[in-house]
Amino acid sequence: MWRFISLRLLQAIPVILVVITVTFFLVRIAPGGPFDSEKPVTREVKAALEAQYKLDLPLFQQYTSYLGDLAHGNLGPSFKYPGRSVNELIAAGFPVTAELGLYALLVALCIGGLAGVIAALKPNTAQDYIPMSLAMIGICMPSFLLGPLLVLVFGIYLDWLPVSGWGDIPGDKILPSITLGAGYAAYIARLGRAGMLEVLSQDYIRTARAKGLPQWQVVLKHSLRGGLIPVVAFLGPAFAGLIAGSFVVETIFQIPGLGRFYVQAAFNRDYTMILGTTVFLSVLIVLFNLLSDVLAAWMNPRLRAQFGSH
Amino acid sequence: MALLDVQDLAVSFVTRNGTNKAVDGISFKVELGKITAIIGESGSGKSVACYSLLGLVPMPPGRIDGGRALFEGRDLLQLEEKELRAIRGRDIAMIFQDPMTCLNPYMTIGKQLMEPLIFHNKVSKEQARARALELLAEVGMRDPESTIDNFPHQFSGGMRQRVMIAMALINEPKLLIADEPTTALDVTIQAQILKLISELQHKRDIGVIFISHDLAVVADIADEIVVMKQGKIVETGDREDIFHNAQNPYTKKLLAAIPSDCKQASTTAVEPLIQVRNLCTWFGQGKGKEPVKAVNDVSFDINRGEVLGLVGESGSGKSTIGRSILRLVPVTSGEVRFDGTDLTALEGRDLKSMRRRMQMIFQDPFASLNPRMTVYDTLAEPLLLHGIETRKTVAQGVLKLMDDVGLARAFVRKYPHEFSGGQRQRIAIGRALATRPEFIVADEPVSALDVTIQAQILDLMQKLGREYGLTMLFVSHDLAVVRHLADRILVLYKGQVVEQGTGDDLFERPQQAYTQQLLKSIPGRSLLA
Amino acid sequence: MTTQTINDIDQAEQGTSLWKDAWRRLRKNHLAVFGLILLVLFIVIALLTPWIAPYSYQAQDLELGASPPSAAHWLGTDIFGRDLLTQIMYGGRISLAVGFVATAVALLIGVTWGAIAGYVGGRADAVMMRLVDILYALPFMIFIVLLTVVFGRNMLLLFLAIGAVEWLTMARIMRGQVQSLRQQEFVEAAISLGLSPTTLIRRHLVPNALGPIIVYTTLTIPNVMLLEAFLSFLGLGIQPPQTSWGLLISYGAESMEEFPWLLIFPGLALTLTLFSLNFLGDGLRDALDVRGAKD
């Protein structure tokens, strides 16, 4: 097991290096410097600024120096918010995004997982069609459409829930979490249904029934584990999607999270911020992928034994 | 009173294409202390009949149309699901065909063994575990203490079937239903499992229903035999009746399909067509990893016009030898001469022209035909490729082939999925013969077919072999089939030839211990003698 | 001629190919048929838009401003008094074009890459699929945002960027197909007949790998359209004066309190298209009996 994990960690290193390098050079070859816009600055001020941000050095030296800083966990200063480092901005925004992502994941897992299992128990009946139709709607209704619609219905017409902010008014976390989680709940429902159907058609389920076990025991003890492995393996990609989704959801609900910072940084050409956030989020996504793979593999005794034997 | 008394049982499946009567009014009895065998080919309804007794047929599409099944005086078909569950796994237990898929891969065998005991008898975990260990030892598991917490994938097929048997017996049921319990196993393992079932049954004096497609398998153990065909019982009788005094033509056909005769050695010129020298085919030579030596230093000749049988259990490398000769897998070292030319060195055009002269017939007639090509396309391809027929004459060539292999001409535009297994194998044989080959490798060509179909295909191959003057390498795990067909037989074990000789030599005077064991394992030997 | 001799046979029975069989199954699936009809309708409308749109694309009526659906403007107008139906029709052209073109890019790269890796096998396969694995692990959504920032908002770039993400899965599916087909006995039989590799691929591999590819293509298009709409919503995709459904939804969301139809109708257009594509894809998957082509 540990060998598997360390192997996957080793494999993640080139991925992360590629991300850093590509991002760095992409950002540097972008037309227009960060100080070109808005109010014009004098040549001396610009030179001083460039020196401060090490933009006067040759490109490759900038790169090695950035890598050096990165090794110390230093993502550099922000171009747009003078005096604040990228680290500080991430530290301010990430907890909010993480909390939103966690709630959304819980929504997705609980609703999606349950719907998938329920649908698989009685395929091709109303018990299957109703949750699966809802799941189809969830897949075809992107968050940037669902969000405004939820705001319109529950925030404005019914006036039940607050429509913006995060942790300011009670209940303001409900709509964003549902908006972000709904699409993934739909995916998980479909995956869970397919996985459960696959397992329920296996011969060993017939063995369990031949033992005289009641239906609930057959499902809980014999099917759930195998049926939900695809769902667990999906959590890695889902996490990457949740991060991207948070860009939209945080914009719609005006949540001061990392996603909104990122989109603003993209508009403002705040290069160090984009660079820093990209690196930070990429590492996070790579690690989460690793985690979900390890978890899915660990749930399968055959794979678990393979890691153990080496 | 019989332990189980089934009367006029009828089960049907309702599908979109109409109602299919899977079991059509059958009656039979199972006595305590007796083994009742239900014999039938695939689709005869033998499994459905037994599954429906325990409510294991999914409904819908399944439907019980009528009949009674009295088990200790209670009609199983009238019981509530809850009452039936109390009987399932406690009074009536089951063993299934494929031990690879019938155990839950996510649970240790110990947990699965203890489950029925804990569920039905509410015993403590410790007691259940002790009982499970006892039973594992009884079914012949070595060192149960250290293997009880292993997962199914850590056992071989035979061991898993032993676990399944232990699991079925753990509640001391009165009736055991075994559905083709040895079909997925090698012959030597099959013999062990059959012996085990028979021993356990005698010791416990329980009733057993043994479902099988193969009369020979039950020849040594069954007390009563029920022969089914298309949902109906065609004949019932005790073992003596069925094997020595069968009345029904279908039963006779099944009996005739058990190959028992030995091929008369034909007089062939001793001129080798194929010469294999020190052939090695190894797989997966990664760095530092030990390669799998599928074929390890094998040498033999096949004479022109001769049928050479190659027998061995799964993993013995018998299929790999055939594929190595035909250059379908890369040869690691050694030499294969075809009519004097070393095949291992050929490339490009030379290889293509040699390929015309040697062809292969595969095991699985469902996988060996391109599902998107009609019979016409499949048969015309080799004819055109090797210039045997021109575009103008190819249709005649295709029809001639269809006549030769016994396929109705009207089927020429049909696709593989529209044919039965036997018909498909005929198409595959036609394709192999299309290039007018001199040499054919037949890799288990009948093992995926029903017994009566097996006999037809073997006859066809024998007939065509004579007509086309073929030299053949016949690969099989089934000694009886090989004996019926081959002039000489090679016995393979772990990638090496352990013994060779004529059928008579091998069967009457086996020299090697492995060959002797293999012969002892042939089911229904009492019939052969 | 040849075909004649075959046809001359008494009662030669016409076989049903797997394609015909699949088509028959698909026709029985009402949702999939509905999806197909709707999709064809949308495509026809998109192609004919310049001729059938009720108003010109630039036409404004500032005095009218935003108005709810009426006889003159079936779906209402936006704050500049532009006809919403016209906007949605022109937006649909872009959205559908992005969906189809980017999927075609993905299809071309992915199928070629996967087929080569699967057919050649060995070391080349290991290297090629390792690259796919590495690219898979990259957070592409973030990268696309980054690309649009760096290179400006450019349609061609959008096609390439989205195509570049989606080809990975396509390559994996194609490789898996080719690999499993290569082990099939009918392919071995074809090799032992002495067929050349090109004939082998054309006659035996491609027709059998086509099913999953068709299914996955149908399911990739809605993904791509979602991606485009997502970027346009953030203001990073299609830019005015051009428009797309994502952009229209973004504008609609800004003014939904007063003019909800500006959000609802573009949203409906996008959702209906995604629905029909997904239903069609699911239906095709069932009809062609493809397992696990998605996710």
Nearest to A222 among B54, B96, B104 (CB): B104
Instruction: Characterize the bridge pairing of strands B62-71 and B232-238.
Output: unpaired
B105 interface with A at CB cutoff 8 Å: yes
Chain B partners (3+ C-beta pairs within 8 A) = A, C
Chain B with chain C: Cβ pairs closer than 8 A: 109
- The answer to whether C236 contacts A145, with C-beta atoms less than 8 Å apart, is no
Q: Contact at 8 Å (CB) between A247 and A259?
A: yes
Q: Is the dihedral of CA B487, B492, B497, B500 positive or negative?
A: negative
Q: Label residues A63-91 b or e (16+ Cβ within 10 Å = b).
A: beebeeebeeeebbbbbbbeeebbbebbe
Nearest to C253 among A29, A148, A234 (CB): A148
Residues facing residue B443 across a β-bridge: B475
All residues of chain A having their beta carbon less than 8 Å from the beta carbon of residue B154 are 305
Nearest to B411 among C3, C13, C203 (CB): C13
Phi, psi for residue A271 in degrees, rounded to 5: -60, -45
Q: How large is the ipTM? A: 0.78
What is the pLDDT at residue B265? 56
What is the enclosing helix (H) or strand (E) of B282? strand B272-283
| Helix axes of C84-120 and C206-234: crossing angle, nearest 10 degrees | 140
A143: closest CA of chain C, how far (Å): 9
Chain A partners (3+ C-beta pairs within 8 A) = B, C
A259: closest CA of chain C, how far (Å): 10
Residue B22 CA to residue B12 CA, distance in Å, equals: 5
Strand order in the sheet with B35-39: B92-95, B175-179, B207-212, B35-39, B224-229, B232-238
Nearest residue of C to residue B354, measured between CA atoms:
C194
Q: Which of A123, A111, A183, A117 is nearest to A147 (CA)?
A: A183
Q: How many CA atoms lie within 13 A of B84 on its CB side?
A: 19
B442: closest CA of chain A, how far (Å): 31
B120: closest CA of chain A, how far (Å): 8
B93 interface with A at CB cutoff 8 Å: yes
Q: Where do the structural domains in chain B lie, given as residue ranges?
A: 1-91+174-256, 103-170, 264-357+439-451+472-529, 364-434
Mutant choice from A7, A80, A145, A250 vs C, greatest count of C C-beta within 10 A: A145
Portion 247-266 of A in contact with C at CB < 8 A: 247-248, 251-252, 262-263, 266
Q: Which of C178, C177, C200, C175 is nearest to C189 (CA)?
A: C200
Q: Which of B356, B333, B351 is nearest to B436 (CA)?
A: B356
All residues of chain A having their beta carbon less than 8 Å from the beta carbon of residue C137 are 12, 15, 285-286, 289
All residues of chain B having their beta carbon less than 8 Å from the beta carbon of residue A213 are 85, 89, 115, 119
Residues in contact with B213: Cβ distance below 8 Å, sequence separation at least 6, in sequence order: B39, B40, B41, B42, B180, B183, B450, B451
Nearest residue of A to residue B117, measured between CA atoms:
A211
Q: pLDDT tens digits for B164-174?
A: 999 998 988 99
User: What would the two tokens of residue B439 be?
Assistant: 């040499």
Q: How many CA atoms lie within 13 A of B230 on its CB side?
A: 1
Q: pLDDT tens digits for B185-197?
A: 888 888 888 989 9
| Helix axes of A258-268 and A271-299: crossing angle, nearest 10 degrees | 140
| Tally of residues, chain B | 529
Residue C260 CA to residue C268 CA, distance in Å, equals: 12
* The three-state (H, E, C) secondary structure of B55-115, written as one string: CCCCCCCEEEEEEEEEECCEEHHHCCHHHHHHHECCCEEEECCCHHHHCCCCCCHHHHHHH
Q: Contact at 8 Å (CB) between B187 and B522?
A: yes
User: What would the two tokens of residue B26 be?
Assistant: 């059958």
Nearest residue of B to residue C18, measured between CA atoms:
B372
Q: pLDDT tens digits for C184-211?
A: 889 989 988 888 888 888 888 888 888 8
What count of other Cβ atoms lies within 10 Å of the Cβ of residue B15?
10
Q: Which of C274, C231, C237, C239 is nearest to C141 (CA)?
A: C231
| Helix axes of A271-299 and C122-137: crossing angle, nearest 10 degrees | 120
Going from the C-alpha of A247 to that of each of A84, B211, C231, the distances in angstroms are: 22, 62, 10
Q: Contact at 8 Å (CB) between B9 and B22?
A: no
Q: Label residues C128-156 b or e (16+ Cβ within 10 Å = b).
A: bbeebeebbbbbbbbbbbbbbbbbebebe
B431: closest CA of chain C, how far (Å): 9
Residue B18 CA to residue B87 CA, distance in Å, equals: 33
Q: For chain A, give me the number of helices (H) and strands (E)?
A: 14, 0
To which CATH superfamily is domain C38-48+84-287 assigned?
A: MetI-like (1.10.3720.10)
Residue B159 CA to residue B218 CA, distance in Å, equals: 21
Nearest residue of C to residue A231, measured between CA atoms:
C295
All residues of chain C having their beta carbon less than 8 Å from the beta carbon of residue B364 are 185
Going from the C-alpha of C285 to that of each of B23, B84, B318, C7, C151, the distances in angstroms are: 33, 38, 38, 34, 38
Give me the torsion for CA of A46, A51, A52, A57, rounded to 10°: 130
Nearest residue of A to residue C248, measured between CA atoms:
A145
What is the enclosing helix (H) or strand (E) of C266? helix C261-288
Residue A141 CA to residue A149 CA, distance in Å, equals: 10
Tens-level pLDDT at each residue, chain C (295 residues): 445 566 666 566 777 788 888 888 888 888 889 999 999 999 999 999 888 888 888 877 777 777 888 877 788 888 887 888 888 999 999 899 889 988 998 998 998 898 888 888 778 888 888 888 777 777 777 777 777 777 766 777 777 778 878 888 889 888 888 888 888 889 989 988 888 888 888 888 888 888 888 888 888 888 888 888 888 888 877 788 888 888 888 888 888 888 888 888 999 999 999 989 988 888 888 888 765 433 3
Which residue type occupies B462? Q
Chain A with chain B: Cβ pairs closer than 8 A: 73
B96 interface with A at CB cutoff 8 Å: yes
Average pLDDT taken over every residue of chain A: 82
Nearest to C193 among B371, B382, B410 (CB): B382
Going from the C-alpha of C118 to that of each of B286, B348, C109, C176, the distances in angstroms are: 19, 22, 14, 7
A211: closest CA of chain C, how far (Å): 30
C207 interface with B at CB cutoff 8 Å: yes
Mutant choice from B81, B94, B104 vs A, greatest count of A C-beta within 10 A: B104
Nearest to B410 among C12, C18, C184 (CB): C12
Nearest to C5 among B360, B382, B396 (CB): B396
Residue C288 CA to residue C178 CA, distance in Å, equals: 17
Residue B162 CA to residue B168 CA, distance in Å, equals: 10
Nearest to A142 among C147, C151, C229 (CB): C229
All residues of chain A having their beta carbon less than 8 Å from the beta carbon of residue B120 are 212
Residue C226 CA to residue B321 CA, distance in Å, equals: 53
- The answer to whether A305 contacts B120, with C-beta atoms less than 8 Å apart, is no
Residue B26 CA to residue B46 CA, distance in Å, equals: 10
In three-state secondary structure terms, B236 is strand
- The answer to whether B381 contacts C184, with C-beta atoms less than 8 Å apart, is no
A157 interface with C at CB cutoff 8 Å: no
Nearest residue of B to residue A221, measured between CA atoms:
B107
To the nearest whole percent, how much of chain B has pLDDT over 70? 96
Query: Do the domains B1-91+174-256 and B264-357+439-451+472-529 sit in the same CATH topology, yes or no?
Result: yes
Q: Contact at 8 Å (CB) between A218 and A209?
A: yes
B356 interface with C at CB cutoff 8 Å: yes
Domains and CATH numbers, chain A: 86-309 (1.10.3720.10)
Residue B341 CA to residue B244 CA, distance in Å, equals: 52
| Tally of residues, chain C | 295
User: What would the two tokens of residue A37 be?
Assistant: 């816009």
C137 interface with B at CB cutoff 8 Å: no
Q: pLDDT tens digits for A28-87?
A: 776 655 555 555 567 777 777 677 666 667 778 888 888 888 888 787 777 777 777 888
Which residue type occupies C50? P
Vertex C202 angle, CA C201 and C204, to 5°: 65
- The answer to whether B119 contacts A225, with C-beta atoms less than 8 Å apart, is no
**Residues of A within an 8 Å Cβ radius of B:** 202-204, 206-214, 217, 221-222, 225-226, 299-302, 305
What is the pLDDT at residue B219? 85
Q: Contact at 8 Å (CB) between B465 and B476?
A: no
Specify the CATH number for B1-91+174-256; select among 3.20.20.70, 2.60.120.260, 1.20.1250.20, 3.40.50.300.
Answer: 3.40.50.300
Q: How confident is the model at residue B367 (pLDDT cuts 50, 70, 90)?
A: confident
B106: closest CA of chain A, how far (Å): 6
In three-state secondary structure terms, A31 is coil
All residues of chain B having their beta carbon less than 8 Å from the beta carbon of residue A299 are 106
Nearest to A211 among B101, B105, B116 (CB): B116
The reported pTM is: 0.81
All residues of chain A having their beta carbon less than 8 Å from the beta carbon of residue C292 are 194
Going from the C-alpha of A181 to that of each of A191, A296, C78, C124, C139, the distances in angstroms are: 15, 21, 31, 40, 19
Q: Identify the burial level of A269 via C-beta atoms within 10 angstroms of its C-beta, where 0-12 means exposed, 13-18 middle and 19 or more buried.
A: buried
Q: Which of A261, A68, B499 is nearest to C145 (CA)?
A: A261
- The answer to whether A213 contacts B119, with C-beta atoms less than 8 Å apart, is yes
Chain C partners (3+ C-beta pairs within 8 A) = A, B
Question: B264-357+439-451+472-529 in CATH: which number?
Answer: 3.40.50.300
User: What would the two tokens of residue B247 be?
Assistant: 């009345």
Tens-level pLDDT at each residue, chain A (310 residues): 677 778 778 877 887 888 788 888 877 776 655 555 555 567 777 777 677 666 667 778 888 888 888 888 787 777 777 777 888 888 888 899 999 999 999 999 999 999 999 998 887 788 888 888 888 888 888 888 898 888 888 888 888 888 777 877 778 888 999 999 998 999 899 889 888 988 888 889 989 988 888 888 888 889 988 888 888 888 888 888 888 888 889 988 888 888 888 888 877 777 778 888 888 888 888 888 888 888 888 888 877 765 544 3
- The answer to whether C186 contacts B392, with C-beta atoms less than 8 Å apart, is no
